[in-house]
């Protein structure tokens, strides 16, 4: 009998001993919203021929899974606006139970009503929906024209098809700070976990990031005046630090890339929709996997070479008005 452990390629381990088990795969840079912390109002999108096609995405995902990646999160831009998104996810889902433990997605929720049933069919069990406010006017302002009801209908459809929903909320000093307890109560009442995220200085936008960023330590301090919070051992493989709110019974996560660097436990890399392997969200170094794929190169050798360059940590900083973004790539390009 063949001993599989002898023939499977070695896991990807970076120079700091961190095993890469989680891939965030961006399938498009396009989006039907224009969130004012993520994009500039007039974004130029890439020609479709620049994007990895279905079989290229499948090849890269398969290579990562062969090298020890257990979780893949599909993202973008807005992943559900990519025309053949379900086919892409169907291909990757063939690895579920055979190396891959979880296939999931981050979405703005606008197209969830249309796609929820198909997502379940391709093995998705949990989705992260990004929603920063429950106020229709604020929502329209933050997203530059989005309709809140479309997202709420999407969330309801996802839940009615049995998908576990988590809300991702970017905390914005002048937009949703006051509303956060309401959002948490609203979500927990519907069995939806919430994760709060600090705004990061990625890409040129019209607003000053200094006017958006709030350290989540301040938010947590305020929550403790309202609620009894205890640590929760829940782990998703992501960077969130989870708490349980006694009064609501729900789970609350904090992602603090700015105020509390969590890079020591980093297990992730990101692939942009054009096939650039981003080794750290907060650093510029990357590897062009599309060139390897289209040039007939060795994808495994390329992965090893890239992971050997994974930086130790990011060094994001927002500590004064008028600062240039730390990273010129927008989050919609990198894949959040």
The residue (of 108 and 214) whose beta carbon lies closer to ligand SF4 is 108
For residues 316 and 336, give the distance between their C-alpha atoms in angstroms, rounded to a whole number. Answer: 15
Place of tokens 């930086």: 311
For residues 163 and 19, give the distance between their C-alpha atoms in angstroms, rounded to a whole number. Answer: 29
- Residue whose CB is nearest to ligand SAM in the complex, by number: 336
Q: How far is the CB of 148 from ligand SAM (least distance, A)?
A: 14
Residue of 62, 93, 111, 130 interacting with ligand SF4 (CB under 6 A): 130
Residue of 24, 57, 71, 77 interacting with ligand SF4 (CB under 6 A): 77
The partner in contact with residue 34, picked from ligand SF4, ligand SAM, none with C-beta cut-offs of 5 to 8 angstroms by kind, is: ligand SF4
**Contact predicate 173/214, CB 8 Å:** yes
Q: How far is the CB of 35 from ligand SF4 (least distance, A)?
A: 3
The partner in contact with residue 239, picked from ligand SF4, ligand SAM, none with C-beta cut-offs of 5 to 8 angstroms by kind, is: none
The residue (of 274 and 313) whose beta carbon lies closer to ligand SF4 is 274
Instruction: List, in sequence order, every residue forming a beta bridge with 243; answer none if it has no partner.
Output: 231, 252
**Sheet bearing 126-130, strands edge to edge:** 229-231, 241-245, 251-255, 193-198, 164-171, 126-130, 102-107, 71-75, 22-26, 268-271, 276-278, 286-288
For residues 177 and 170, give the distance between their C-alpha atoms in angstroms, rounded to a whole number. Answer: 10
- Listing DSSP states for 29-63 in one string gives S--S---TTTS-SSPPPPPGGGS--HHHHHHHHHH
In the window 288-307, what residues touch ligand SF4 (CB under 6 A)? none
Q: How far is the CB of 267 from ligand SF4 (least distance, A)?
A: 23
218 SS3 class: helix
- Binding pattern to ligand SF4, positions 90-109, x when CB under 6 A? ------------------x-
The partner in contact with residue 200, picked from ligand SF4, ligand SAM, none with C-beta cut-offs of 5 to 8 angstroms by kind, is: ligand SAM
The partner in contact with residue 202, picked from ligand SF4, ligand SAM, none with C-beta cut-offs of 5 to 8 angstroms by kind, is: ligand SAM
Backbone angle region of 92, left / alpha / beta, with phi > 0 → left and psi within -120 to 50 → alpha: alpha
Q: Counting contacts by CB under 6 A, is residue 332 touching ligand SF4?
A: yes
Instruction: List, in sequence order, every residue forming a beta bridge with 43; answer none if it has no partner.
Output: none
List contacts with ligand SAM (CB under 6 A): 31, 37-38, 75-76, 78, 106-108, 130, 168, 170, 197, 199-200, 202, 331-332, 336
The count of residues interacting with ligand SF4 (CB under 6 A) is 12
The partner in contact with residue 75, picked from ligand SAM, ligand SF4, none with C-beta cut-offs of 5 to 8 angstroms by kind, is: ligand SAM
In the window 143-202, what residues touch ligand SF4 (CB under 6 A)? none
Residue of 78, 175, 193, 286 interacting with ligand SF4 (CB under 6 A): 78
For residues 292 and 300, give the distance between their C-alpha atoms in angstroms, rounded to a whole number. Answer: 10
For residues 276 and 201, give the distance between their C-alpha atoms in angstroms, rounded to a whole number. Answer: 20
CB atoms closer than 10 angstroms to residue 334: 24
- Binding pattern to ligand SF4, positions 37-56, x when CB under 6 A? -xx-----------------
For residues 322 and 30, give the distance between their C-alpha atoms in angstroms, rounded to a whole number. Answer: 27
The partner in contact with residue 168, picked from ligand SAM, ligand SF4, none with C-beta cut-offs of 5 to 8 angstroms by kind, is: ligand SAM
CB atoms closer than 10 angstroms to residue 299: 17
Q: Counting contacts by CB under 6 A, is residue 35 touching ligand SF4?
A: yes
Residue ranges binding ligand SF4 (CB under 6 A):
31, 33-35, 38-39, 76-78, 108, 130, 332
């Amino acid at each position: 009998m063949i001993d599989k452990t002898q023939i499977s390629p070695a896991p990807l381990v970076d120079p700091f001993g961190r095993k890469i088990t989680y891939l965030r795969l961006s399938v498009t840079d396009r989006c039907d919203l224009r969130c004012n912390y993520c994009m500039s109002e007039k974004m130029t999108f890439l020609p479709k021929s620049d994007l990895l096609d279905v079989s290229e995405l499948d090849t890269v995902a398969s290579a990562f899974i062969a090298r020890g990646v257990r979780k893949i999160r599909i993202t973008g831009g807005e992943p559900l606006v990519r025309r053949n998104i379900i086919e892409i996810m169907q291909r990757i889902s063939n690895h579920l139970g055979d190396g891959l433990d979880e296939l999931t997605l981050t979405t703005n929720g606008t197209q969830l009503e249309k796609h929820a049933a198909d997502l379940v069919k391709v093995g998705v069990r949990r989705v992260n929906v990004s929603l920063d406010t429950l106020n229709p006017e604020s929502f329209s302002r933050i997203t530059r024209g989005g309709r809140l009801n479309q997202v709420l209908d999407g969330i309801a459809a996802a839940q009615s098809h049995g998908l576990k929903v988590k809300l991702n909320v970017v905390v914005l000093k002048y937009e949703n700070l006051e509303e956060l307890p309401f959002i948490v109560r609203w979500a927990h009442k519907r069995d939806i976990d919430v994760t709060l995220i600090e705004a990061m200085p990625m890409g040129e936008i019209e607003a000053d990031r200094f006017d958006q960023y709030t350290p989540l330590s301040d938010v947590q301090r305020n929550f403790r005046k309202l609620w009894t919070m205890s640590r929760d051992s829940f782990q998703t493989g992501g960077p969130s630090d989870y708490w349980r709110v006694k009064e609501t019974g729900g789970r609350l996560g904090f992602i603090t890339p700015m105020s509390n660097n969590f890079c020591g436990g980093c297990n992730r890399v990101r692939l942009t929709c054009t096939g650039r392997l981003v080794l750290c969200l907060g650093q510029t170094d990357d590897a062009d996997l599309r060139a390897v794929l289209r040039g007939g190169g060795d994808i495994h050798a390329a992965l090893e070479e890239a992971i050997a360059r994974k930086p130790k940590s990011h060094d994001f900083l927002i500590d004064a008005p008028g600062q240039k973004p730390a990273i010129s790539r927008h989050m919609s390009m990198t894949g959040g």
